[in-house]
């Protein structure tokens, strides 16, 4: 007998006994109906395909803008913005800690000036935009709104998502700024602000992807993601929001691995679990509050620098698993990402992979093709049972924040990551081209490199901005932001005023640091 990625048993043969006592109505329902195991919409891809949302961003706003226009030209239905590390951490490009990182893992955005360049000549009322930003999510969202307004586009027309999932940063990724309680306060402010000002915007993308990249199993990915989601819902309710006012705009973000069957089961189990959590634990009544809508990205952690062309096969299988699992949008990784930033050719091929699945296969012609499958239904039940048990462990510790402060999720993920590394090193787990089917002489590959001169360019832009703007107006707005952070007023109101006056992202983050401080994790060793 083999085991799944989550160490759940996989039988060599499944038959009708696997579904003995299986209540199809209770566990499946119809597509688009509670508990949404079969998908959140009745027609799924038979009506229209998922959104092909390719993640991109590097160097300057001008360079990234050119890449976005190219992706839109080749059929991308939604933009997905990668920000550089200083932007993610709330530092301007000229901060001493930014040195050497400007534009490296995403685009550098310091102010409204950069954001306007980034989306120049892109139809923001027609294109859905996702932004992978967490601790400074409010800042980037407001810059996006201001950019749209300067293009003559009302906030009510904007559609998209901010990741805004800070809890997983404490667990797996590390780009946090403020302590957990203050981060939750800011997220609640975003929920309330968007409900009033940007009603079509998805206010959070609760992410299991980064935990999976850190080594989480499918069961851990689902369990820790939904445990975090419960914490966000509790925080919003505690802030006085009605669950049905904000829950319809919650979204999720998962990985798709090459273990196709378990991944399909994972997506189906997650939908069912979330529907029951929202109805039974939080009393949500709006059907949209019960729907787990999610974006998927193929597994970057499974890409290899050795024989990188093999990654094309991996990505195709991973993308197929996401589609069979019912994703609402998908990013397919480029085959060269284990080496460097994707080249334009590799990024185009990644998009073409999605288009082949959508238009040349028959998987979009019927809803939930695996429904009733002995193996997939059995695995869906297994994933759900194991994930619920792990969520209960988090709840027993007082919820996601308390468990984070104890280091529980992080240590669980590190344990499985270490076990996986040992399996790869020993050859027990095969990685084609890495520990089996190895070739000695791989073809030379010329990677895309970011010009280090962009750091100086960004610093010059910042110097010019600080000379040209009304610095008195900026300081007045930042003082108002500090006052809101000290009290209970929505912090996004004065934050928008500061950004409109051309305050920088770093200055906004510093104003909140002045009041809330910075999070310093406990040592567990």
For 80-111, what is each residue's pLDDT tens digit?
899 999 999 999 999 999 999 999 989 999 99
Is the predicted pLDDT of residue 525 greater than 60, yes or no?
Answer: no
Rounded to an integer, the average pLDDT of 274-298 is 98
| 484 Cβ contact list (under 8 Å, min separation 6) | 490, 491, 493, 494, 495
Could you tell me the two tokens for 137?
């999510």
d(CA 379, CA 340): 36
Distance between CA atoms of 311 and 302, rounded to whole angstroms?
Answer: 8
pLDDT above 60 (res 524): no
Residues 6+ apart with CB under 8 A from 463: 94
pLDDT band at 77 (very low <50, low <70, confident <90, very high): confident
Q: What is the pLDDT of residue 72?
A: 86
Cβ-Cβ contacts under 8 Å for 3 (sequence gap 6 or more) = 9, 10
Segment 394-405 mean pLDDT: 96
Place of tokens 């090193």: 425
**Stretch 235-242: mean pLDDT:** 95
Q: How many CB atoms lie within 10 A of CB 357?
A: 23
Instruction: Check if the beta carbon of residue 215 is closer than 8 Å to that of residue 413.
Output: yes
Quote the pLDDT of residue 321.
98
For residue 385 the two structure tokens come to: 């049972």
405 φ, ψ (degrees, to nearest 5): -65, -25
Chain CA centroid to CA 342, Å: 19
Of the listed ranges 59-63, 250-254, 393-397, the least confidently predicted one is 59-63
C-alpha 487/C-alpha 484 separation (Å) is 5
* Cα angle 259-226-143, degrees, rounded to a multiple of 5: 100
Tell me the average pLDDT across 438-443: 78
User: Cα–chain-centroid distance for residue 259?
Assistant: 20
Give residue 343's pLDDT band: very low, low, confident or very high (50, 70, 90): confident
Q: Dihedral sign, CA of 255, 259, 5, 27?
A: positive
**437 pLDDT exceeds 90?**
yes
pLDDT (tens digit, 9 = 90+) per residue, 131-176? 999 999 999 999 999 999 999 999 999 999 999 999 999 999 999 9
Q: Are 117 and 131 in contact (CB under 8 A)?
A: no
Give the residue-averaged pLDDT of 16-30. 90
pLDDT of 87: 98
Q: How much is the pLDDT for 56?
A: 83
- Cis amide linkage into residue 35, ω under 30° from 0: yes
Instruction: Give the pLDDT of residue 344.
Output: 86
pLDDT for the residue 24: 87
Among 1-10, 310-319, 502-511, name the one with the lowest average pLDDT: 1-10
Distance, in Å, from the CA atom of 56 to the CA atom of 331, rounded to the nearest integer, reads 10
User: Mapping DSSP to helix (H, G, I), strand (E, B) and coil, where does residue 59 land?
Assistant: strand
Provide the pLDDT for residue 450.
78
- The angle at the Cα of 520, spanning 484 to 91, to the nearest 5 degrees, equals 60
Please report the pLDDT score of residue 194 as a whole number: 97
CA-wise closest residue to 230 among 403, 384, 382, 89: 403
Percent of all residues in the chain with a pLDDT value above 90, rounded to a whole number: 88
Rounded CA-CA distance 148/120 in Å is 10
Going by pLDDT thresholds of 50, 70 and 90, the confidence category of residue 57 is confident
**What's residue 118's pLDDT?**
97
At residue 443 the predicted structure's pLDDT band, cuts being 50, 70 and 90, is low
443-474 burial, b for 16+ CB within 10 Å, e for fewer?
Answer: eeeeebebeeebbebbbebbeebbeebeeeeb
Beta-sheet strands, E only, within 133-272: 160-162, 201-202, 204-207, 250-256
Q: What CATH number has the domain spanning 163-426?
A: 3.20.20.240
Mean of all residue pLDDT scores within the chain: 95
Structure-block tokens of residue 153:
């586009």
Question: Is residue 128 within 8 Å of 201, Cβ to Cβ?
Answer: no
Residue 430: φ, ψ to 5°: -85, 130
The structure tokens listed for 154 are: 């009302």
Q: What are the boundaries of each domain within the chain?
A: 163-426, 461-516
Percent of the chain with pLDDT over 70: 98
Structure tokens given for 363: 């998987």
């Amino acid at each position: 007998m083999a085991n799944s990625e989550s160490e759940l048993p996989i039988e060599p043969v499944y038959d009708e006994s696997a579904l003995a006592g299986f209540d199809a109505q209770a566990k499946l329902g119809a597509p688009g109906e509670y508990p949404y195991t079969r998908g959140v919409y009745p027609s799924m891809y038979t009506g229209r395909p998922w959104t092909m949302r390719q993640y991109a961003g590097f160097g300057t706003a001008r360079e990234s803008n050119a890449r976005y226009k190219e992706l839109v030209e080749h059929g991308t239905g939604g933009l997905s913005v990668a920000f550089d590390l200083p932007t993610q951490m709330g530092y301007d490009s000229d901060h001493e800690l930014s040195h050497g990182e400007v534009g490296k893992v995403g685009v550098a955005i310091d102010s409204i000036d950069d954001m306007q360049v980034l989306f120049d000549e892109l139809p923001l009322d027609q294109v859905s935009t996702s932004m992978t930003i967490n601790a400074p999510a409010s800042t980037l969202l407001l810059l996006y709104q201001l950019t749209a307004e300067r293009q003559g586009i009302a906030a009510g027309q904007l559609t998209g998502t901010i990741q805004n999932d800070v809890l997983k940063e404490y667990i797996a990724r590390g780009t946090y700024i403020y302590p957990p309680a203050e981060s939750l306060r800011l997220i609640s402010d975003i929920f309330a602000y968007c409900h009033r000002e940007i009603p079509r915007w998805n206010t959070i993308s609760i992410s299991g992807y980064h935990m999976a990249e850190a080594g989480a199993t499918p069961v851990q990915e689902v369990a820790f993601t939904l445990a975090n989601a419960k914490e966000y819902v509790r925080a919003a309710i505690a802030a006085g929001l009605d669950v049905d006012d904000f829950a319809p705009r919650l979204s999720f973000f998962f990985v798709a691995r090459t273990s196709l069957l378990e991944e399909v089961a994972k997506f189906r189990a997650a939908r069912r679990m979330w529907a029951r959590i929202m109805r039974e634990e939080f009393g949500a009544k709006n059907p949209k509050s019960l729907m787990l809508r999610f974006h998927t990205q193929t597994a970057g952690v499974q890409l290899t620098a050795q024989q990188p062309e093999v990654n094309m096969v991996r990505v195709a299988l991973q993308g197929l698993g996401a589609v069979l699992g019912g994703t609402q949008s998908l990013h397919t990784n480029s085959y060269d990402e284990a080496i460097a930033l994707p080249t334009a050719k590799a990024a185009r091929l990644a998009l073409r992979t999605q288009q082949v699945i959508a238009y040349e296969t028959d998987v979009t012609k019927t809803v939930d093709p695996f429904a009733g499958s002995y193996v997939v239904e059995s695995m869906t039940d297994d994933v759900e049972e194991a994930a619920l048990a792990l969520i209960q462990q988090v709840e027993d510790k007082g919820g996601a924040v308390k468990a984070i402060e104890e280091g529980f999720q992080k240590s669980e993920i590190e344990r499985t990551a270490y076990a996986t590394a040992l399996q790869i090193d020993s050859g027990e787990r095969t990685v084609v081209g890495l520990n089996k089917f190895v070739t000695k002489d791989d073809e030379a590959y010329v990677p895309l490199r970011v010009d280090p001169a962009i750091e100086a360019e960004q610093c010059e832009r910042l110097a010019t901005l600080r000379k040209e703007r009304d610095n008195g107006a900026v300081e007045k707005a930042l003082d108002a932001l500090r006052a809101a952070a000290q009290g209970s007023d929505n912090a996004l109101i004065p934050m928008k005023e500061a950004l409109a006056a051309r305050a920088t992202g770093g200055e906004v983050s510093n104003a909140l640091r002045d009041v809330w401080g910075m999070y310093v994790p406990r040592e567990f060793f």
